Structure 1
Amino acid sequence: MERLDTDMAQIDYYFATLSPYTYLAGTELERIAAAHDATITYKPLDIMQLFARTGGTPPKDRHPNRQDYRLQDMERRAARLGMTLNLRPAHWPTNMAPSSYAIIAAQQAGGGDLGALVHGLTRACWAGEQDIAEESVIRDCLAAAGFDPDLASSGLLAGAETYERNLDEAVKAGVFGAPFYVTDDGQRFWGQDRLPDLDWYLSSKR
């Protein structure tokens, strides 16, 4: 059964701009959403705070076996996707808040490509050896995605409030990692490797 236009699927997209797996997701979520006439709400959050509130462990504090596996997995996935990936980027970790605020401001302003903005920022970190806490880097990513570069410095207070609210909403929605996708009927998908499952699920609901 096809969805009516007034009953479009909605996806809440929880992610961190410093997450390598958010980068490796590319713009596949946007492709899937377009294929199913679904809408996306972008919800950047502080992944370290999410770990602290949901029992997760930051990468640097994990057992060496887990750290080594994470690097191998990242390298394999990047190779399969044909994506450039620096396993130990020059500016990681860095402050996630400025880039997250810019995404929040861009979503409110409209007029550009949010998927391209998220991918551009994560690519700047994981492939471009750039510090995504720097305003000049954020401005360049905004412009490349079709947004006003001045959004990098505007709406900081609103951005901070939304950023904190995204974290609270993530915990309430059952989110514990990034990237994380939650449908409007409560189905949760953790990790970019679950995007095919999200695609399948949305197909099954039509």
Structure 2
Amino acid sequence: MAQIDYYFATVSPFTYLAGTRLEEIAKKHGATIKYKPLDVIALFARTGGTPPKDRHPNRQEYRLQELRRQAAKNGMQINLKPAFWPTNPAPSSYAFIAAQNSGGGDLGALAHGFTRACWAEEKDIAQDEVIRDCLTAAGFDPKLADSGLLTGAETYSRNLEEAVEAGAFGAPFYVVDETERFWGQDRLDDLDLFLAGKI
């Protein structure tokens, strides 16, 4: 059974555009998913990337076009300039880690819920009430928003280190069995083919 280490950011628009396709692919192939939320801006700094705001205008413009096209391609709503972005990704990431440790809900739905709140619903995912709503919608206890902060911070930091060691440099990033790497939601079809033994 394959294991997919899923490095993602709760504020990443490309993580949002992945939707829940990873979960569908994993289920199809009997693979397991280890969710690893991280600070993608810190990952950029560690691996030679540049935050969106510091990129050349040509790159910024292309990024917006690509977001628009990918959203249309997948039939997803997106606000290219959301009211609450950038925002602090740590509170939602800590809540995700607490939910992961508690069990009982749908982690794929929670990851997508946070990114959808930011990129389609004009909500600030650094705010407690938004985090609680996302937890509840994914079948978790909303009180998890207030628990496990120390563990969350430690895991969040460790996920960044593990991402660098695993060869990740952006989000979403998928690593199968610690060897095969796929960057971006637009590589999910390749991940599907790899798990099927076709590439």
User: TM-score normalised by the shorter chain: which range applies?
Assistant: over 0.9
Cα deviation for residue 185 of structure 1 reads 4.4
Counterpart among 32, 44, 50 of residue 39 in structure 1: 32
Task: Look up the equivalent residue of 1:105 and give its one-letter code.
Answer: A
Cα deviation for residue 157 of structure 1 reads 0.3
Cα deviation for residue 80 of structure 1 reads 1.3
Whether the 8 Å contact between 2:166 and 2:178 is mirrored in structure 1 is no
Is the counterpart of residue 18 in structure 1 residue 11 in structure 2?
A: yes
Is the counterpart of residue 169 in structure 1 residue 169 in structure 2?
A: no
Q: Deviations over 1:121-148 (max 9, x none)?
A: 1000000000000010000000000001
Runs of 4+ in 1 over 6 A off after TM superposition: none
**Aligned equivalents of 1:192, 1:135: Cα separation in 2:** 28
What does residue 5 of structure 1 align with? Answer: none
**Aligned equivalents of 1:118, 1:66: Cα separation in 2:** 27
Whether the 8 Å contact between 2:5 and 2:178 is mirrored in structure 1 is no
SS, match of residue 18 in structure 1: coil
Is the counterpart of residue 73 in structure 1 residue 70 in structure 2?
A: no
**Aligned equivalents of 1:137, 1:106: Cα separation in 2:** 15
Q: Deviations over 1:72-116 (max 9, x none)?
A: 000011111111100000000000000000111111111000000
What does residue 142 of structure 2 align with? Answer: 149
**Aligned equivalents of 1:80, 1:56: Cα separation in 2:** 26
Unmatched tracts of structure 1, length 5 or more? 1-7
Is the counterpart of residue 63 in structure 1 residue 91 in structure 2?
A: no
Cα deviation for residue 172 of structure 1 reads 0.3
What does residue 183 of structure 2 align with? Answer: 190
Task: Look up the equivalent residue of 2:9 and give its one-letter code.
Answer: A
Counterpart among 123, 128, 143 of residue 135 in structure 1: 128
Is the counterpart of residue 109 in structure 1 residue 124 in structure 2?
A: no
What does residue 178 of structure 1 align with? Answer: 171
**Aligned equivalents of 1:156, 1:167: Cα separation in 2:** 17
**Aligned equivalents of 2:183, 2:47: Cα separation in 1:** 14
**Aligned equivalents of 2:183, 2:72: Cα separation in 1:** 21
**Aligned equivalents of 1:141, 1:183: Cα separation in 2:** 28
SS, match of residue 90 in structure 1: coil
**Aligned equivalents of 2:40, 2:98: Cα separation in 1:** 19
Task: Look up the equivalent residue of 1:63 and give its one-letter code.
Answer: H
SS, match of residue 42 in structure 1: strand
SS, match of residue 204 in structure 1: coil
**Aligned equivalents of 1:175, 1:78: Cα separation in 2:** 23
Task: Look up the equivalent residue of 2:101 and give its one-letter code.
Answer: Q
Task: Look up the equivalent residue of 1:39 and give its one-letter code.
Answer: T
Identity of aligned residues (%): 75
Cα deviation for residue 66 of structure 1 reads 0.5
What RMSD, in angstroms, separates the aligned Cα atoms of the two structures?
0.8
What does residue 30 of structure 1 align with? Answer: 23
Aligned length: 198
